[in-house]
Amino acid sequence: MIIVDISWSIDAAMTAYKDKKMVNVEQIKSFEMHSVRESSLRLGAHTGTHIDAPAHFLVDGATIEHTPLSATVGPCVVLDLMHVDEAITKEDLVACSIKPGSRVLFKTKNSLRLAHDLFDYGFIYLAECGARYLASQKIAAVGIDYLGIERNQSGHETHLALLSSGVVIIEGLRLANVQAGEYFLCCLPLAVVGAEAAPARAVLITL
């Protein structure tokens, strides 16, 4: 069995959405004082690899503890979209093999970014037409290799097309070392009651 970690490591210097750094790891017990190490964590719900729940953009949307794990645990396909320069469109996706009920992960030029780079305001994103196509295909989840799945959409059309159709959104994947193809995905967010998102750890498993 091969397990590939596709999550971002979490530290204070990691790339943050629009460079709003929110991570702090504070040591509250030390060997010198307490003969044990203990830490407290502070982080945004959208830190690094994370899942957006419907409550992020829908007033009556479900919060993250209600996200069905069956959406983010199961067979997935990593799509090679390294040729895309701006937005992933319906045309890009129609050309791919996308199965209903599956999980679809985008490997794009975003994966060339390093963990501590400044935020890239020109990141590759999913266009509204692509989101609508994925929703029509009734996929379970979509994942992208950057901290957002939409860009410069005042109406948040990409998020709304996905969340209102029950497609789970995974943001902040790390796919630089992953080849396109089929895998078993296990992406598990913390079950933070009442939150609109939560950090997650994600792995690809090859049996």
Task: Give the C-alpha separation, 22 to 56, whole Å.
Answer: 18
Closest to its own copies by CB, 82 or 195: 195
Q: Which residue has the tokens 């985008």?
A: 106
As measured in angstroms, the least distance from the Cβ of 66 to its own copies is 10
Instruction: Mention every residue, 6+ apart, whose C-beta is less than 8 A from residue 170.
Output: 49, 50, 51, 72, 105, 141, 142, 143, 144, 187, 200, 202
Closest to its own copies by CB, 82 or 203: 203
The DSSP 8-state label assigned to residue 63 in this structure reads: P
Task: Give the C-alpha separation, 65 to 52, whole Å.
Answer: 11
Closest to its own copies by CB, 32 or 85: 32
As measured in angstroms, the least distance from the Cβ of 14 to its own copies is 8
Residue pair 53/196 in contact by the 8 Å Cβ criterion = yes
Q: Which residues bind its own copies (CB under 8 A)?
A: 1, 3, 5, 7-11, 22, 25, 28, 31, 36-46, 55-57, 59, 65, 69-70, 73-74, 156, 186, 188-203, 205
As measured in angstroms, the least distance from the Cβ of 121 to its own copies is 18
As measured in angstroms, the least distance from the Cβ of 95 to its own copies is 29
Closest to its own copies by CB, 19 or 31: 31
Closest to its own copies by CB, 65 or 120: 65
As measured in angstroms, the least distance from the Cβ of 91 to its own copies is 29
Distances (CA, A) of 172 to 37, 67, 107, 147, 177: 29, 17, 11, 5, 14
Task: Give the C-alpha separation, 189 to 170, whole Å.
Answer: 10
